[in-house]
Structure 1
């Protein structure tokens, strides 16, 4: 019998259809582990580290900036052809490395060690974001279930909530900041195992679909500047809001509750803002969200006590991931033949803002005794970002 006949009689089995919810949940756990925990757990742990390790606000800001520098470099590497091979292997490897660096913070003894460990954590968190996007969002879109991408981004808020509770557990058990890092790293390892089960690899990488949009050819310059200013504007409050609670002499439970509020507000945020963007357009949604965030940042330092901190936390959580996502979508739509280049430029601008913000805020806090001036500066820059996004 001829080979061709064999092929006809024994065709290769069709690949099993993957449940879109399985993919979305896998992406959610990936984002929870690497971003919600690996990247943002530093915020609720920071007040304990500053108190128990005598870190200054400037040093604390530099540790945060080191993580964001790692994220920037990691994202730029991922935009090249350097990370070859299985995308699933890179995703799982980066998740494992993120969990390990989170755990290792508990055994780090020096300021230089904090800088290095958080830098590596930032580097691999960027790879998680890139490969989770490739393996999850692209396939969901191909299945006609693009709306489930909001489930993936909800993982950031979910991770923030879970990391807050684990930090509170360490406080209750008097384990200190080291115990909080251990709890969080163990949770990130568990989430990595869930991702390994839920997210299968791809036999081939689908070719990128051309982007069709009435915005194509529109200048990206204003949006690029706006994205950088947004990176600066959101990250100061995202880094220091729990420290603001401690500075106001509230009990430790209030510190945890504030960061839990950020996470809860973040869970539905991308879905809600995407619905608004579908009606008003990405540019307008980006601008309105920046103004809302500016109000929250200003409220956190201008209104007394929890009257400012609670709305500051809610408005931060309900906007920052949505602005991040909408900005990238708008840049892709405005780009010409090379959306990858536009996205790399956006990532660089955003990363630069994130790197500068915590360092500037920390040293201004040391110089002037409060976070009032850096937070006001952040609010002004967010309003400017809202204006620039339409250019």
Structure 2
């Protein structure tokens, strides 16, 4: 087998370039912030400002995700993808050069937008370039990049900090890493010649939004909330527990490791046992992981909470998006836009109520209680949705 990793049309090259793009878009531009949160809190950040930065970052990501839904021309997608990578790199270096709060706010909004261009648009390019009979399995490999993005950026950040440098140096090193890595991604994820795209316009179909679909959309909001509190604060949550100071980053590393295979495993189970059943189980496991730090300061159980979180959130994104795509049929844009918006609103809201509770009570317990309750609400909605499912929907 002749494997040429510089061949733009080789499936392995495309998957590697796609995973690198995820590492830049989600890892460097988003999850590295969580990894570096403890030293930044020791530096100049407060928990409240960190929560606001997370919220505006997700607002930027949400706006980019919605915009990307309406870009149909694959050639335009390549331009937006490259623009996203440049924004991710540019907004990362800023964090290592200044402590100006206004600059950080603007930079995190733009980073969120750039991350959406890199991840959402990049994934669409990967999907269109791959030459497989069954692209769903291949996209499962691509989405494992979310776990890799956490793991890679965390290991880079920790290596810099362990060398005696500070968190600002970590941002500079992450920028250099992203710049070098982006060359391969941008080279592979484009087309040798301009692609003629047939743009099919679909009319807005209200019948898509039946009661079952609305329940799925609201349930995905609850997962947006379930995802974001730990995605923002997990290392600090663990470090704030008695006797666990310094274990926050190890927990975050485990999140990345658990996230790598999770998408492939959950998607296989959904194919066998039905999407709604598996989403309910995955949400329940995530809820347990959210509650563990509120109940115990046992090191092993809290490390397990990181594994449960990493092992569920990546899979849940894939499960919901896959279900949404199947429900949308030939008219995906509006429904996928609604699903993404619902998830995004959860991501924007949750850091804000979290910092309110942390300020009021001096710990994360109440933020985690409310988050777990909202996720449980999602499980109840899905449980109810099973009573109104059609035979066709049960097969999804």
Fold similarity call, TM over 0.5: yes
Structure 2 match to 1:147: 137
Q: Identify if the C-alpha distance between structure 1 residues 105 and 208 changes in structure 2 by more than 3 Å, giving closer, same or farther.
A: farther
- Given that residues 241 and 309 in structure 1 are in contact (C-alpha distance below 8 angstroms), is that contact kept between their aligned partners in structure 2? no
Question: Which of 192, 196, 199 is 1:204 aligned to?
Answer: 196
Q: Does the CA-based 8 Å contact 1:273-1:285 persist in structure 2? A: yes
What value does the CA root-mean-square deviation take over the aligned residues? 2.4
Matched, 1:25 2:16: yes
Distance in 2 (CA, whole Å) between partners of 1:145 and 1:336 is 16
Question: What displacement does 1:61 show?
Answer: 0.6
| 2:226 counterpart residue number | 233
Pairing 1:112–2:93 present: no
Residue-by-residue CA offset, 1:272-293 (whole Å, 9 max, x unaligned): 0011011011111211111110
Deviations 1:250-273 (A, max 9, x none): 454x33321110100001111000
CA change 1:343–1:368 in 2 (3 A) is: same
Aligned length: 370
Aligned residue for 1:354?
Answer: 347
**Mapped contact 2:52–2:352 kept (Cα < 8 A):** yes
Matched, 1:287 2:280: yes
Gaps spanning 5+ residues in structure 1: where? 1-15, 211-215
Work out which of the residue numbers 19, 30, 48 in structure 2 matches 1:39.
Answer: 30
1:312-391 map, 5 Å = 312-335=305-328, 338-390=331-383, 391=385
Residue 278, structure 1, aligned to residue 278, structure 2: no
Using the alignment, how far apart are the partners of 1:130 and 1:17 within structure 2? 20
Shift of 1:191: 2.1
**TM-score w.r.t. structure 1 length?**
0.88
Structure 2, unaligned runs of 5 or more: 1-6, 203-207, 386-396
Is the alpha carbon distance of 1:220 and 1:89 closer, same or farther for their aligned partners in structure 2, counting shifts above 3 Å?
A: same
Deviations 1:214-240 (A, max 9, x none): xx7763110111111110112111211
TM-score where L is the length of structure 2: 0.87
Structure 2 counterpart SS, 1:259: helix
| SS, match of residue 377 in structure 1 | helix
Q: Is the 8 Å Cα contact of residues 23 and 198 (structure 1) preserved in structure 2?
A: yes
